[in-house]
Structure 1
Amino acid sequence: MAKSISKNAIFKAMLNLFNIILPILVIPLVTRSVGKELYGYMGYGDSLTAYFLIFASFGIYQYGLREVSKVRDNKVKLRQTFTSLFIFTSITNIVASAAYMAFVAIYYKNEPYLYTCIIMGFNLVFNLFYVEWVNEALENYDFIAIKTMVVRIVYSALILLFVRDQEDYLFYLYLVIGFNFINNIISFVYVKKKLSFDFSNLEFLRHIRPMLYVVILSNTGVLYTQLDKIMLKDSIGGTTAVGYYYMAQRIMTIINTLLLTVIQVTMPRLSNYLGNESKGEYLILLKRVIKIYFLFLFPASVGLLCLSKEAIYIFGGAEFLAAVPVMIVFSIYMLSIGVEGVIANQMIYLHGKEKDDAILVLIGGVINLIFNMILFYTGTFDMVTAITTTLIANLIVIGLEYRLVKKVIKLDIHLFAFENMKYFYYSLVFIPITLGIKYVISNIMIACLLEVTACGIVYLGILILTKDQVFFELADKIFIKLKLKR
């Protein structure tokens, strides 16, 4: 029997909210303790491992989730699919890990961040046990939430207790890698208890081509923010500029992760509908998901834009205030990747058009590369212009992908209709509200608290006054879950 989407969403939201609160407590301590230079080392190491992780994972999260969702009602096919995909990605993880270690040892042997890169490379090794795609496809969101929260509470407690200054940098580095392994291995053991390997009818060739398209998509995705960080490191700013950029990106990612809750928990169900040729049910759920997602995406993006200085100050302290202009652009970029994520994941990918999408994302990536090179050679390439060109490239991709949805897939969907975009217009009222509070109150923390409260009340008031159907349906469901229905 299908699990409740609302229950799945609650567990996923709990986890994503937890993933916001915890970094707010931990990241400021880490950045103040290790300093912007060492934090920049981690930012660069993270970017480097991201390249190799593309080949290590070989698109298993997106592809595995889709394929397992389709066959999850057939126990034999489920075991066979899981076994085939796990063996295949075990090989890719081992090859990618070896290639990474050899690359780092050869090209960074004299760099101060060599050891950081080597240690962070173990994330590739431990990715061998990453099976969260199975848990999500089977909608085991309760297990994912509880397990991850317990692991990260212990991890954060150790950081708060023992990370105090730059001498603790390596201890922090070991914690990051070690707890990533622990998180993965617990999920692996859990999946193996519920799903045994079935080595009969193993299939590899059938999976290679569609997974390769996902790899291409991931590779072209590297031509966006990952490219920015690599070019920043090799240009005027060095690892310090990467640290500023990385800080703004992490804040955006933390918030965006919470917003993606409704998208993530409905992917398996949408895939299952299409796999069972229930396109009518797919469209009904898709249209509802878009409205719910935009209800939260637009106020979050505009709100982050208005509170960029406060966000940087809370996470990084005064030392990172140079990242505020980057944070402003990242808040707009968050809006764009939210819209692009809906089109790419819930429409294009679930319809098996990953090849077409790979071409479109590649076009956007090449455009971003060209923009960056122009800025570099004209002496205008910096943190702000880097993410601005990435934003422009992503907007171009959105236009191309939406055309694919309408002309090729032919979905009866109107993504940019007023019923969806009205939440963006409502959110624009945050701008004068926050500017007014900043003008009157100079204390950053007090102003931040008042700004969040005022904007939240006003947005809620607008939804109530306009009798927003989506909002009231969500409110009713929440009251029912809490047994507080009016």
Structure 2
Amino acid sequence: MSKSISRNAIFNSILNLFNILLPILVIPSVSRAIGNELYGYMGYGDSLNNYFSIFASFGIYTYGLREISRVRDDKIKLRQTFTSLFVLTTITNILATLAYMAFVLFSYKGQPYLYTCIILGLNLAFNLFYVEWVNQALENYDFITIKTMIIRIVSCIIIIFLVRSKENYLFYLYVIVITNFLNNIVSFIYIKKRIKFDFSNLCFKKHLKPMIYAVILSNVGVLYTQLDKFMIKASNGTTDVGYYYMAQRIINMINTLLLTLVTVTMPRLSNYLGNDSQDKYLVLLKRVAKIYFIILFPASIGLMCLSNEVIGIFGGGEYLSVIPAMEVFSIYMLSLGIQNIISNQIIYLYQREKDDSILIFIGGIINLILKFILIFIGHFTIVTAIGTTLIANIIVIGLQYRLVKRVIKLNINLFNFNNMKYLVYSLIFIPITILIKSLTHNIIYICIIDVTFCSLFYIGALIITKDDVFFEMIGKVKAKLIRS
């Protein structure tokens, strides 16, 4: 039942590009309408919601995707695995929702952001119907794309025309929650028509331990950017959380687009390992890593160069304080990309999540210590907060790569010159951008001219060096155009 990886990548790319373009239309309108204080409330409520979501989802996205991918060719095992995992996460979602509401009502009584947290908490309840992990494991990327785009376009139109001032803030929150519910429930109905529940062989014990490790991994992740937001709120207030939140949202949107190829190949890689086809796994992994790096490095460095212009487009003059954080976030995005390959496509698929949990926990503790040192010496800001997170993440990458080479003993060299040369080419964007900014101060002109010249330089470097991946990609595009 395997589908074309390129077809999956095209649909996923369309969706991810859509998820980038839509906020470009919505975020500037909303941020200006509701103001940075209310935007900070939403940022804090969202971070709290994300924390409890860790326990609600119970690691189902990564674990469920891996397990369904392994058994998707056996209809009986597929139904039984889906049923066991769905029942298990139903329980965790209900318990997490109750715990969240109790915590919010008890801890934030009388606080101005109480109602924001309550409304966003409904996302936890609606997470009960979240089954996108099954769709991705079955490679139903066409359905995911079409369904999500229709629902979010309608949501976008409603927000743009009806959220015009601070008085519309709660309405905006309602739209977000309802959109999330519709997105989940439509996928649930779609999957239930294709996979029936089978309660004949419910198995929780088999899944419980690896899912606990997945939760630990998610919890340890709180020691990174989620920790930043909590500590920024405690030290600097909710307004700075809003600044941090804006930069993080922009990075997450772009990072999701860049991870398209990585995401769509995970089910196939897992299926190869589940069927003892390690040679096929290694060939696909090396190919995916190189294609990913050819896009990741120029995107990260280019975004760093244009941080000022990007924030100007998204938030206007009210969010100028975000610019330095955005620059550091761009490099952090680069480290996240490398870590994603190592952690999700190698360590997790080899079922070494316990080892990965320990390594990420070590990095999280280092991050926490660095932040307390900054607070103690009086230099804790949104910029230094993400800076320490970047340092901790680089340390984790080193530890994870050591695990891959010495324990898993996988014959792969991610940091050879053939992969790292793309970073070298991308660094030339810096002097190009400095030159362009010295000639004009118009944000739109800078973006258009800079992207054009940097792209021409990068493509020229790939052509001159006769890069095999680049010419392979061009060849596939030509072949598809000819067939069409």
Tell me which interval the TM-score lies in, with the shorter structure as reference length: over 0.9
Partner of 1:483, secondary structure, is: helix
Q: Which residue of 1 aligns with 2:367?
A: 368
1:32 counterpart letter in structure 2: R
Q: 1:123-152: CA deviations, max 9, x gaps?
A: 100000000000000000000010011111
Q: Equivalences for 1:22-421 in 2 at 5 Å?
A: 22-235=22-235, 237-421=236-420
1:156 counterpart letter in structure 2: C
| Alignment partners' CA distance in 2, 1:465 and 1:164 | 51
| Alignment partners' CA distance in 1, 2:477 and 2:216 | 40
| Alignment partners' CA distance in 2, 1:479 and 1:57 | 42
| Alignment partners' CA distance in 2, 1:107 and 1:340 | 35
Partner of 2:449, secondary structure, is: helix
| Alignment partners' CA distance in 2, 1:334 and 1:400 | 18
Q: 1:427-475: CA deviations, max 9, x gaps?
A: 0111011100001101122111111111111111111121111011111
1:97 counterpart letter in structure 2: T
RMSD: 0.8
Deviation, 1:243, is 0.5
| Alignment partners' CA distance in 2, 1:385 and 1:56 | 31
In structure 1, the gaps of 5 or more residues are none
Deviation, 1:172, is 0.7
Q: Does 1:2 align with 2:9?
A: no
Partner of 2:223, secondary structure, is: coil
| Alignment partners' CA distance in 1, 2:475 and 2:133 | 31
Partner of 1:222, secondary structure, is: helix
Partner of 1:381, secondary structure, is: coil
1:392 counterpart letter in structure 2: I
Deviation, 1:482, is 2.5
| Alignment partners' CA distance in 2, 1:2 and 1:55 | 32
Q: What TM-score do the two structures reach when normalised by structure 1?
A: 0.99
| Alignment partners' CA distance in 1, 2:442 and 2:223 | 39
| Alignment partners' CA distance in 1, 2:11 and 2:481 | 14
Matched positions, count:
484
Deviation, 1:484, is 6.5
Q: 1:365-405: CA deviations, max 9, x gaps?
A: 00000111111121111111100000000000000000000
| Alignment partners' CA distance in 2, 1:476 and 1:26 | 37
| Alignment partners' CA distance in 2, 1:101 and 1:442 | 48
In structure 2, the gaps of 5 or more residues are none
| Alignment partners' CA distance in 2, 1:481 and 1:191 | 31
Q: 1:9-62: CA deviations, max 9, x gaps?
A: 000001011111111111110111111000000100011011100000000000
Q: 1:198-243: CA deviations, max 9, x gaps?
A: 01111001100000000000000000000000000011x2011001
Deviation, 1:92, is 0.1
2:328 counterpart letter in structure 1: V
Query: Alignment identity in percent?
Result: 67
Partner of 2:348, secondary structure, is: helix
Q: What TM-score do the two structures reach when normalised by structure 2?
A: 0.99
1:358 counterpart letter in structure 2: S
Moved over 6 A (4+): none
